[in-house]
Structure 1
Amino acid sequence: MTPTGHLPVLVVRHVTWEGPHRILRAFDDRPVHLVDTLPAGAALPPVDTVAGAVFMGGPMSANDTDRLPQLAAEITWLRQAVAADVPVLGICLGAQLIARALGARVYPAATKELGWAPIDILDDTDPLLGALAPRRTVLHWHGEILDPPPGSAVLARSAQTACQAFRVGNAWGMLFHPEADRELLDEWLAEPSMAAEAEQVHGPTAAHRLRADADAAEPELLATTDAMFAAFATRIAAHADRYVAGTTA
Structure 2
Amino acid sequence: MLNLDHLPDIVYAIQHVSFEDLGSLEDTFYQLGFRVRYFEAGVDDLKKAFEYKGLTIILGGPVGVNEIQDYPFLQSEIDLLKVRLEKHLPTLGICLGAQLIASALGSKVFAGHTKEIGWSKLQLESTENNLLSPLSNIPVLHWHGDTFDLPDHTILLASTEHYPNQAFQLGTNILALQFHIEVEADALEKWLIGHTTELRQAQIDIQKLRQDNQIYAPALTSPTKQIIENFMKKIII
Q: Is TM more than 0.5 here?
A: yes
Identity %: 30
1:121 is the counterpart of 2:120: no
Runs of 4+ in 1 over 4 A off after TM superposition: 3-7
Residue pair 2:50, 2:56 contacting (<8 A) in 1 also: no
Q: Which residue of 1 aligns with 2:198?
A: 197
Q: Which range moves more in the overlay, 135-144 or 95-104?
A: 135-144
Residue equivalent to 2:73? 70
Q: Residues 227 and 4 of structure 1: is their aligned pair in 2 closer, same or farther, counting only changes over 3 Å?
A: closer
Q: Distance in 1 between matches of 2:188 and 2:166?
A: 20
CA change 1:49–1:95 in 2 (3 A) is closer
Contact residue 41 and residue 70 of structure 1 kept, 8 A = no
Report the equivalent of 1:247: none
**CA–CA distance in structure 2, aligned partners of residues 18 and 218 of structure 1:** 15
Gaps of 5+ in 1: 243-249
Q: CA deviation at 1:107?
A: 0.3
Counterpart residue number, 1:179: 182
Paired residue for 1:89, among 86, 92, 96? 92
What residue in structure 2 maps to residue 245 of structure 1? none
State the number of aligned residues. 230
Residue identity matched to 1:161: Y
Moved more, 209-218 or 168-177: 209-218
CA deviation profile, 1:140-166 (whole Å, cap 9, x unmatched) = 111101100011111101111111111
Distance 1:127 1:150 in 2: 18
Supply the distance in 1 between the matched residues of 2:129 and 2:60 (Cα, whole angstroms).
23
**Aligned residues of 1:35 and 1:44 also touching (Cα < 8 A):** no
Instruction: Tell me if structure 2 keeps the 8 A contact 1:123–1:130.
Output: no
* Distance in 2, Cα, partners of 1:198 & 1:130: 30
1:131-189: per-residue Cα shift (whole Å, max 9, x none)? 213x3211111110110001111110111111111111221111111111322312211
Q: What CA distance in whole angstroms lies between the structure 2 residues aligned with 1:107 and 1:9?
A: 29
CA distance in 2 between counterparts of 1:24 and 1:32 reads 7
Give the secondary-structure state (helix, strand or coil) at the position aligned to 2:65. coil
1:99-110 matches, cutoff 5 A? 99-110=102-113
**Shift of the alpha carbon at 1:231?**
2.4
Structure 2 gap ranges (5+): none
User: 59, 63, 79: which is aligned to 1:60?
Assistant: 63
Which residue is equivalent to 1:155?
Answer: 157
Task: Decide which moves more: 144-153 or 219-228.
Answer: 219-228
Contact 1:8/1:50, CA 8 A, preserved across alignment: no
RMSD over aligned Cα atoms = 2.1
Paired position in structure 1 for 2:215 = 216
- Distance in 1 (CA, whole Å) between partners of 2:110 and 2:51 is 31
